[in-house]
Amino acid sequence: MDEERNEEPENMEIPPSFFPYDNEDQIPGPHEGFGEPVAVRIEGVYVSQTGPDVQRFVLLTDGDRRLPIVIGEAETYAIAVPLDKKKHLRPLTHDLLASILAKLDVQVNRVVVDDLWGSTYYAKIFLDADGEELEIDSRPSDAIALAIRCDAPVFVAEGILDQAAQ
């Protein structure tokens, strides 16, 4: 067996080379201290096309500020279907997850978009499992799709909303 395969990857604290940066000094790090979470509502999902380029995003708002988060085609559908109060013939992945959580008597308390790394937003799903709060890292699109299905509130850190407003 090749010994190189058994070695641990070096420096796992630095993102792998598929990030578009020439050296470690250019890699943006996660930010701390974006402030307190602010309740937002999901304004909708939108598609924008410029020539051959198609961009899909979910738009969150606190009434004054808006935060567009770019999402994929599947995530657009996963968010739009329950927003439009429609049902898919077969359960989608987020429907399945919501069903599993319900059967396990686990509630989604809230979803919080709380970090920004480069141009990528990060979210957390807060669950109540038998009185214990669990925090799960998530992509914002998945967290939002689940929140809609579980009637859970969505929050965004104050500083992220401020930054988006600029």
The reply to whether the predicted model has a pTM over 0.85 is no
pLDDT digits 0-9 by tens, 50-105: 889 999 999 999 999 999 999 999 999 999 999 988 887 888 899 999 999 999 99
**Nearest CA-CA partner of 76 in 53, 120, 42, 46:** 46
Q: Is a pLDDT exceeding 90 seen at residue 16?
A: no
Q: Is a pLDDT exceeding 70 seen at residue 30?
A: no
pLDDT digits 0-9 by tens, 96-124: 999 999 999 999 999 999 999 888 999 99
> Backbone phi, then psi, for 165, in 5-degree steps?
-70, -25
Q: Is a pLDDT exceeding 80 seen at residue 32?
A: no
DSSP annotation of 113 reads E
Mean pLDDT across 24-39 = 67
The predicted pLDDT at position 165 comes to 78
Q: Is a pLDDT exceeding 80 seen at residue 15?
A: no
Q: Which two tokens stand for residue 12?
A: 């796992």
| 1 vs 57 pLDDT, higher one | 57
Distance CA 123, CA 117 (A): 11
The predicted pLDDT at position 24 comes to 53
pLDDT digits 0-9 by tens, 139-166: 999 999 999 999 999 999 999 999 887 7
Compute CA distances 151 → 53, 98, 135, whole Å.
Answer: 33, 10, 17
Q: Which two tokens stand for residue 114?
A: 């709380």
Q: Which two tokens stand for residue 67?
A: 């935060």
The predicted pLDDT at position 29 comes to 47
